Amino acid sequence: MAMMNADFDSMLARDEDIDRASRSLKAISHPLRLKILCVLGNKEVNVQDIVDSVGTSQSNISQHLAILRDKGILISRKDANKVFYRVGDHRTLRLISMMQEVFCPSH
């Protein structure tokens, strides 16, 4: 328990880390954005494949992708007429993995 408290104390000492964590959690807290991140995982996926996997309109997906990109969670790349997205921060991938482990245990 003392080790956990020491970890929290050091985390609280870095305001920029707290701010980054807060912004990231807020950005991924929307169910559709979380679903997009789960579709992406550690892969690079084009917008149409995200639309097909998530099951909503391309304009809706594009709005949410823009939010995730603006918050520094996603990185995009254009190839001809397709835009590809991937998670740009390994910490976000770790967080998603932990959430899957906690909330979606395998049967």
CATH number of the domain encompassing residue 33: 1.10.10.10
Instruction: Tell me 19's DSSP state.
Output: H
Q: In whole angstroms, what separates CA 76 from the centre of its chain? A: 13
What strands, in cross-sheet order, belong to the sheet with 74-79?
Answer: 45-46, 82-87, 74-79
Residues 6 or more apart from 58 whose CB is under 8 A from it?
47, 48, 51
Per the structure block, which two tokens stand in for 87?
Answer: 């998670």
Report residue 4: phi and psi, to 5°. -60, -45
How many independent structural domains does the chain possess?
Answer: 1
| pLDDT tens digit sequence for 45-74 | 999 999 999 999 999 999 999 999 998 899
Which of these ranges, 40-44, 47-51, 76-80, has the smallest mean pLDDT?
A: 40-44
Q: What is the pTM of this model?
A: 0.78
Residues 6 or more apart from 8 whose CB is under 8 A from it?
none
**What angle separates helix 47-54 from helix 58-70, to the nearest 10 degrees?**
110
SS3 of 14, please? coil
Q: Looking at residues 25-48, what average pLDDT do you find?
A: 92
Residue ranges making up the domain that contains 44: 2-103
